[in-house]
């Protein structure tokens, strides 16, 4: 069975619900072993990692427990004055989101911008 790789890019807070729904649909449709799903947030969208409400963060934690990876751009955290200590434990900080977007596509990830 082919194993796919998907990269969701989000830089606008208002798109989080769509990104979460799409990521969950993808995992449901292709199965845990059939796809690697990574969500990369930069711009204002990193704020929701730190300041999202309980319902949102709890749903994200559940999605993370399905194997979906959540990344935050350090440039965006600095630009939004967000202490990385405020992020949920399942969020990984990367130096630059754009670099991840480029290197992972070179590594075979499909790009999706909801």
Q: Which H, E and C letters describe 19-82, residue by residue?
A: HHHHHHHHHHHHCCCCEEEEEEECHHHHHHHHHCCHHHHHHHHHHHHCCCEEEEEHHHHHHCCC
Among 69, 75, 84, 93, the residue binding a second copy under the rule CB under 8 A is 75
At 103 the three-state DSSP class reads helix
Q: Does 105 bind a second copy (CB under 8 A)?
A: yes
**Rounded to the nearest whole angstrom, what is the least distance from the CB of residue 98 to a second copy in the complex?**
4
Q: Is the CB of 88 or the CB of 94 nearer to a second copy? A: 94
Quick check: 59 binds a second copy (CB under 8 A)? no
Interface segment toward a second copy; rule CB under 8 A; list 48-56, 61-69, 84-92, 93-101: 93-101
Residue from 29, 54, 55, 83 touching a second copy (CB under 8 A): that is 29
Is residue 78 a contact residue for a second copy (CB under 8 A)?
no
Listed residue (70, 93, 53) closest to 9, CA to CA: 70
């Amino acid at each position: 069975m082919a194993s796919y790789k998907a990269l969701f890019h989000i830089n606008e807070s208002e798109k989080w619900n769509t990104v979460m729904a799409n990521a969950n649909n993808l995992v449901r449709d292709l199965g845990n072993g059939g796809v690697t799903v990574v969500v990369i947030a930069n711009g204002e969208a990193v704020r929701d990692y730190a300041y999202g409400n309980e319902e949102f963060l709890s749903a994200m934690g559940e999605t993370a427990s399905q194997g979906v990876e959540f990344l935050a751009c350090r440039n965006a955290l600095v630009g939004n004055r967000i202490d990385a200590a405020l992020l949920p434990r399942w969020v990984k900080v990367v130096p630059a989101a754009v670099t991840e977007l480029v290197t992972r596509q070179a590594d075979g990830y499909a790009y999706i911008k909801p």
